[in-house]
Structure 1
Amino acid sequence: MTTFPADREADDSSDDIIALVRELVLVETPSRDTVASARIADILSRRFAEVGGAVQRVDTAAGTDLVIDVPGSGDPILLIGHTDTVWPVGTLDGDVPWSTEGDVVRGPGAYDMKAGIVVMLEALRSLQPLPLPRRRAVRVILVSDEEVGSPVSGPLLAERAQGVAAAIGFESPHPDGALKVGRRGSARVRLGVTGRAAHAALDPERGVSAVDELVDQLVRVREIVSAPDLPGPVLCNVGIITGGARTNVVPAQAQAEIGLRFADPVTEETVLRALHALTPHRDGAVVSAEVLSARPAWQASAQDDALLEGIAAAGHPLGQSISGRPAAGAGDTNLLGALGVPTVDGFGPRGGGAHAVDEHFLRSSLRERVALLRAVLTIPAG
């Protein structure tokens, strides 16, 4: 095995594709790090310009998004991805160094999803010798805040995707390589409680405990998400709880951040409406529910299935058997699929360990995905 910390050069010149992945991985890009986002946008702007792309940079409060148009025939096929990762700066020198061992390539954000961006680049590079009538027009959208729910880029996605014929997402596939057709909806909700501070021993009756109120509200949340009359199942995870400051002070503030996953839009609407309608158990307490980010449930349509069939047909001459099925996780393709744009996701290479210290992708799968995307974007002669 060969490993390299962030400040050391490695000779991957024998494999230009892996070298390109490494170039992107060595720019550590945690969400909301606008400086790092601009750095990787510089690299990708140059790389996509080399394959004929007209690059538009969009600087936002979350980072730098890229919208890239590559000429070809017909309405463009949208390729969508993200440049941010869940990893803090310094991960390369710590838990997840860059390494290659046989078919396995590791690094923070390599699997989710910088290798997927390289699939786009290398497929487009391979199409450059073809005349424009022989290749599809392409639009690439790379956002900088996907890992935190796309709170800034998400509302702009529908506008940026206007006029596209179909959308392909480059998140990781299912473990067996199957594409993702349909995804659960997701929402991040902050449940906040304001109480009233008081001395916990001398005059506790004057206080209203925000922490106690929050505990009772979370019990109510569990009842809402498990109600038997909901149309579909809900996944609920209380990920962050904060509140209070001292044990001798009745806490005046408390909050929880809750992650929710929905199989269908009716369930999503029902649950979010119930959360906004929560009322306090204690006189003097104030309860609020704020949606921090949300992606609608995407249920596979006949158009999505037809797109999957077309991709499978393109893969057949390559010896690739392509299938697809719904996925539990949400992503930017949720909005496109829910809007009725023919959509599939999971076009990144196979691997594993997304968001974990064993994050990796398979070199052989990367090459397979490049060949498959090239076939999808090639218009047969005659």
Structure 2
Amino acid sequence: MGQDMLERLEELVRIESPSRDVGASRRVTALLDRWFTAIGLNPRRIESASGVHLVLDDPGDAIGDPILLIGHSDTVWPAGTLAGELPWRRDGGVLRGPGVLDMKSGLVIIREVMERLQGRPHRPVRVVITCDEESGSPTGTEVCTEAARGVAAAIGFESPHPDGALKVGRRGSTRLRLAVRGRAAHAALDPEAGVSAIDELVDQLLWVREVVAQASRTTPVLCNAGTITGGTRANVVPDLAEAEIGLRFIDQDSENDVLARLSSPTPRNPRAVVTTTIITRRPAWAAKDADRELMARIAAAGAALGQHIEGRPAAGAGDANLLGGPLGVPTVDGFGPMGGGAHAVSEHVLIPSIAERADLLEQILAR
């Protein structure tokens, strides 16, 4: 692997870029912008409430529709992680640091291959780098949707399966807020005047569990009440309470059914008001024939390089869900290098696999 790729990766990781930090997003996107501009490409910056997205087109030899490469510049790590629990370091053939696997090494691969292709016949390429993937792509979804227009296929640069296999099909992921408005009152002097938002929320969570259990008789649905908030003190009947719920779906039918049922909650206490709001949603992406055909072409390109490339479904969700799911674009994800520990202090990437993935991407895009 070339020293320049290692140096770029270190430079990128050292710009900490947590989701929802607009200033950090601008700094990391400015670096990416300079990288692509230096090789003659013309990135377009899209400002948003989450930060800055980056989109660029390389017309290549102008034969055929472009291949879309999907990445993201944000990480789950807060500012200060580099100076604390996860410093940048190299241990032999392993690199460690916040976002090194998810997914700054993938961005370095994209940049490397785009440079290799300049001045050579190659397929048209479109690159989109979102800034809020780790928070559900609240603004990145629209950017991806627009970038997908007219593309022949899409390749996502999330990390692969632990054995290096690509991801063909991913569970849908929805974050849902269940909110209850009750009525405050003194818990001892006038409890009947109050309506406990917390009691109602507990009842509603049991109802959510019932809905999920019924749906799971046909197709497994995962449900996790990740946060619960509400109330002020023990002697006050709480007037507000809410939970944030994470749902995972294998297919769009079960996803649509469950979300439709959860959209109309009925209060157990008629004096309470209960609402549900979808915070973020990545639709289920079940692998289709076009995805498998794209996977077969990638495997053939790998075989030409002496690489054995496989693909199978994955549990996690990402921006590729939108492309492979409702938009129907032939899609494969997990094109990032091998490693492990995404979102954990053990996050790391294996150096040899960075070069291997770059070689594979070049083989796919070059004529």
Q: Judge same fold: TM > 0.5, yes or no.
A: yes
1:137 to 124, 140, 144: 124
Q: Deviations over 1:86-130 (max 9, x none)?
A: 010001111111010111100001100000000101111112242
Q: Secondary structure at the match of 1:254?
A: strand
Unaligned runs of 5+ in 1: 1-12
1:99 to 62, 80, 89: 89
Q: Secondary structure at the match of 1:81?
A: strand
Q: Deviations over 1:115-155 (max 9, x none)?
A: 0000101111112242xxx2111110000110011011103
CA distance in 2, matches of 1:346, 1:31: 20
CA distance in 2, matches of 1:322, 1:233: 28
Which residue identity is paired with 1:83? S
CA distance in 1, matches of 2:143, 2:119: 33
Alignment of 1:93-242 (within 5 A): 93-130=83-120, 134-227=121-214, 231-242=218-229
Q: Secondary structure at the match of 2:312?
A: strand
1:32 to 1, 13, 20: 20
1:244 to 209, 228, 231: 231
CA contact (8 A) 1:52 1:70 kept: no
1:230 Cα deviation after fit: 5.2
1:54 Cα deviation after fit: 1.8
CA contact (8 A) 1:113 1:348 kept: yes
CA distance in 2, matches of 1:228, 1:142: 35
CA distance in 2, matches of 1:183, 1:175: 15
Identity %: 59
1:50 Cα deviation after fit: 2.1
CA distance in 1, matches of 2:126, 2:2: 30
RMSD: 1.3
Q: Deviations over 1:188-211 (max 9, x none)?
A: 000000000000111111111001
CA distance in 2, matches of 1:370, 1:229: 40
Q: Secondary structure at the match of 1:159?
A: helix
Higher deviation after alignment, 223-232 or 187-196: 223-232
Structure 1 position 79 matched with structure 2 position 66:
no
Which residue identity is paired with 2:362? R
1:52 Cα deviation after fit: 3.0
Higher deviation after alignment, 228-237 or 82-91: 228-237
CA distance in 2, matches of 1:327, 1:255: 30
1:18 Cα deviation after fit: 1.1
Aligned length in residues? 364
CA distance in 1, matches of 2:337, 2:350: 7
Q: Deviations over 1:30-68 (max 9, x none)?
A: 111111101111100010122332210000011000001
CA distance in 1, matches of 2:357, 2:275: 46
TM-score under structure 2 normalisation?
0.97
Structure 1 position 303 matched with structure 2 position 293:
no
Q: Secondary structure at the match of 2:65?
A: strand
Which residue identity is paired with 1:127? L
The change in CA–CA distance for 1:246 and 1:60 in structure 2 (over 3 A counts) is same
1:232 Cα deviation after fit: 1.3
CA distance in 2, matches of 1:159, 1:104: 37
CA distance in 1, matches of 2:145, 2:77: 28
CA contact (8 A) 2:175 2:245 kept: yes
Q: Deviations over 1:251-272 (max 9, x none)?
A: 0000000111000111101111
Which residue of structure 1 aligns with residue 259 of structure 2?
Answer: 272
Q: Secondary structure at the match of 1:237?
A: strand
CA distance in 1, matches of 2:134, 2:243: 19
Q: Secondary structure at the match of 1:325?
A: strand
TM-score under structure 1 normalisation?
0.93
CA contact (8 A) 2:215 2:254 kept: no
The change in CA–CA distance for 1:105 and 1:229 in structure 2 (over 3 A counts) is closer
